Structure 1
């Protein structure tokens, strides 16, 4: 280490804090700026200084030297306690390159906020970067993360559980019965996930902390599938059904509380949907205390009828939205030519061969989300689990025949290898098969439950 000059001549730098012992010089900015950490707290006698110093610093790696070398030296020279810890994060890169205005690869945070929402953007930044290392930013990667974690996992969980609570218990938290081993496993996982989340966040391991919390979110979605509340309802097993729904709702409350630090607005909304007064739980509740018990959600509490806080983002629609209206004539010409492009085989009068039939991929899947299309009254937007890793979005003209909540949990049969179609701004990736009689449509379902993704042959 070399000596550091803490002054700059006014002849070279016209602005700055004048040195008290030489009016021709101003203070070097990295000497002046660092003092603000304690002067802003009212050093030496301010209450905030007594309360918050020494604290921890959170800095980027490009200003490591002033914080790791200059500042501790200044504090020791002044006889003041050195900060407790220095937390240093890396860079957000674009295609493994540092952002630069000259390269034109700068990502505008306010633009991302406007496009995807502040909470989703915050979640991605904390979830994607392992603190201390560089991370690569791409809008495609952010959309994938939002769809997978927020839409498919968290959003799907709240949507289906609240819809079923409305259907089975008139939107009220049911009274639980005796917990089974499956229920106790969820309670134990809830405590473990929260404890890990608290500890990892305390060590600035934000990505790992959120991953631990998502272990619980994913387990709750699997718990829904394994316990099959819709089957318990059909069997009239109200006691067991109430226990399952209580376990789900209570665990969902724990997740929402943990997310307060990452997505405050979304956390508030999720808690409101669970009948919690905004501002009470997250502000006054200790997460450590919450991790040690499974209470907090009182039976009889009224919850929201539905949830659609994290709608799935259509990647293809984002890419194609701009040029989609450029060539309407070409689309019309293709429609007119379609009958000529696929004539019936000679001598078969429209019959198809066995090989042609085999080319149609039909599979069974469970509807996990059902809601009205935002731009079409007669169309429902379905998310269906075909055991593909994440649910598939399919649009279907069933709104006149089914209420959305009637389809949640129902197994249906769909054609999966149809070319994707954009309908009123949303992409549909398949077709749910229906039967028609007397002007009424009914969805085709397996005669008995089968594993999601089972092929129809």
Structure 2
């Protein structure tokens, strides 16, 4: 049986429509999931929506609808985004589902049985926008003298009866975890931030509210709803059937990777391990905090009028071009910037001119000049060198880079192999060989055909629709569309079969910058 691999995104807060950051995380997780499937792993990929909390209740009141009506409407936009961006999730987990309430309540009962929950009075600073509590020492002062959270969001002084979680008991186990498993939190800069925070001491955490009722009820205290982060984090095990610990839970938990934005690192690397330890459940293996995407270098905000609908970008430039751009442009884990001009540039120069044109001129030449696929009639040093370079990139460098989430570096290795193929076709000039040495021409074309198929597999996780279309066009068997399966051994049987290559269509038509985006 294939080795399991469980990957999750953070679940999105649907108090508004999806923005480019939601798309970035979903696409990155999808690339990782597809990559793992291509290595033969049994992948479970979960995403979803975090629909409870005071912020949702207030937004619904503002719009004159119920919180459930708001969450139903907005969640559909997130489902549509994932489907539209070709995100291959196995489960879309909503926190409003009855099975999720049962899961969270069981987690609560286990934490209570451990003695980690107690009833007291909460007085302190709370950010509705972050759904987070902050110590006085963490606050900054705004331009008008108002107090702000470390994220720059407004905070308000809150006083109410609350259940508390004994987070203070878990400081030493957490520091031990970070020291003994340094890759639990990645990248390292985020690990260092979390360690400094925990070393400063942990206070017990308020984990229930009585000032609103849109959430999961606390067992035995129906006037309390659980703190939204107890509720939200539990989605990762709800989707595997918890509290039933057989079946999917037994197979896929602990998660191999929680992929999240850097602004919610604390919740996933401090609160979540502590909750799980308290409940007697294994903790996830890795948490990776990616950076933010900036719009022309600026953080998106409604007040600046620069919020981008990712589906608008996908419609204008193509889903696969957008996916490629986001994974290629930004060093994964760091902040990055995007613009329509940059998307058009990458799409045209790298996907269109470099790879698309390579495939188009090679396959068109074969279809026009040969009745069947070209035969290999003895390799020379140039052929062997290209096979080695492309084979190493696709079978070693790209998978190894993607394994450690160095997505940009993996794509760069792919692109260097594309450039090598372009240099080879220019040097070998099969259009000249057609007249001077037809046998050599066939070997050159066969070499290129094999390398183009390998390159299509190498970038398949990033641009799945276009890569699959190319592989279909080339007649590549399904079982060969993996890193190791796309070695050259499949070519001779294909070339000797009755497969006939049809005239290809351009993979990546040239993009033009829309007039409204032109500088």
Fold conserved between structures, TM > 0.5 = yes
| Secondary structure of the structure 1 residue equivalent to 2:266 | helix
Give the match for residue 253 of structure 2. 53
Question: How far does residue 289 in structure 1 lie from its aligned partner after superposition?
Answer: 4.2
Q: 2:380 aligns with which of 180, 199, 205?
A: 180
CA contact 2:314–2:322 (8 Å) conserved in 1: yes
Q: 2:515 aligns with which of 319, 323, 336?
A: 319
More helix by share: 2
Question: How far does residue 321 in structure 1 lie from its aligned partner after superposition?
Answer: 10
Report whether the alignment pairs 1:133 with 2:311.
no
CA contact 1:200–1:206 (8 Å) conserved in 2: yes
Give the match for residue 272 of structure 1. 472
Question: How far does residue 46 in structure 1 lie from its aligned partner after superposition?
Answer: 3.3
Give the match for residue 153 of structure 1. 354
Q: 1:225 aligns with which of 419, 426, 429?
A: 426
**C-alpha distance after superposition, 1:289-326 (max 9, x if no partner):** 43xx32223214322313312112234xx33899xxxx
Asked which structure has the greater CA Rg, the reply is 1
Give the match for residue 495 of structure 2. 299
Give the match for residue 368 of structure 2. 167
| Secondary structure of the structure 2 residue equivalent to 1:136 | strand
CA contact 1:95–1:137 (8 Å) conserved in 2: yes
Q: 2:507 aligns with which of 285, 309, 312?
A: 309
Give the match for residue 83 of structure 2. none
CA contact 2:340–2:517 (8 Å) conserved in 1: no
CA contact 2:389–2:417 (8 Å) conserved in 1: yes
- Alpha-carbon distance between aligned partners in 2 of 1:61 and 1:79, rounded to the nearest angstrom: 27
Please list every run of 5 or more consecutive structure 1 residues that lacks an aligned counterpart in the other structure: 323-457
Question: How far does residue 190 in structure 1 lie from its aligned partner after superposition?
Answer: 1.5
| Secondary structure of the structure 2 residue equivalent to 1:88 | strand
Q: Structure 1 residues 231 and 320, CA, compared in 2 at 3 Å: closer, same or farther?
A: farther
Give the match for residue 123 of structure 1. 324
TM-score, normalised with respect to structure 1: 0.65
Name the structure, 1 or 2, with higher relative contact order (CA <8 Å, separation 6+). Answer: 2
TM-score, normalised with respect to structure 2: 0.58
- Alpha-carbon distance between aligned partners in 2 of 1:63 and 1:81, rounded to the nearest angstrom: 20
| Secondary structure of the structure 2 residue equivalent to 1:269 | helix
**C-alpha distance after superposition, 1:230-281 (max 9, x if no partner):** 111111x12211110001001111111222211111011111221235xx24
Question: How far does residue 14 in structure 1 lie from its aligned partner after superposition?
Answer: 2.2
- Alpha-carbon distance between aligned partners in 1 of 2:289 and 2:337, rounded to the nearest angstrom: 17
Question: How far does residue 168 in structure 1 lie from its aligned partner after superposition?
Answer: 2.4
Q: Structure 1 residues 146 and 175, CA, compared in 2 at 3 Å: closer, same or farther?
A: same
Q: 1:206 aligns with which of 407, 414, 417?
A: 407
Equivalent residues in 2 for 1:65-76, closer than 5 Å: 65-76=266-277
**C-alpha distance after superposition, 1:357-407 (max 9, x if no partner):** xxxxxxxxxxxxxxxxxxxxxxxxxxxxxxxxxxxxxxxxxxxxxxxxxxx
Question: How far does residue 49 in structure 1 lie from its aligned partner after superposition?
Answer: 1.1
Give the match for residue 440 of structure 2. 240
Report whether the alignment pairs 1:189 with 2:389.
yes
Give the match for residue 100 of structure 1. 301
| Secondary structure of the structure 1 residue equivalent to 2:488 | coil
Question: How far does residue 225 in structure 1 lie from its aligned partner after superposition?
Answer: 0.2
CA contact 2:328–2:408 (8 Å) conserved in 1: yes
Report whether the alignment pairs 1:29 with 2:225.
no
- Alpha-carbon distance between aligned partners in 2 of 1:37 and 1:314, rounded to the nearest angstrom: 41
Give the match for residue 217 of structure 2. 18
**Count of matched residue pairs:** 311
- Alpha-carbon distance between aligned partners in 2 of 1:276 and 1:190, rounded to the nearest angstrom: 17
Question: How far does residue 285 in structure 1 lie from its aligned partner after superposition?
Answer: 4.2
CA contact 2:325–2:347 (8 Å) conserved in 1: yes
Please list every run of 5 or more consecutive structure 2 residues that lacks an aligned counterpart in the other structure: 1-201
**C-alpha distance after superposition, 1:36-95 (max 9, x if no partner):** 111210134232112211121111111111101100111111221111111111100023
| Secondary structure of the structure 2 residue equivalent to 1:260 | coil
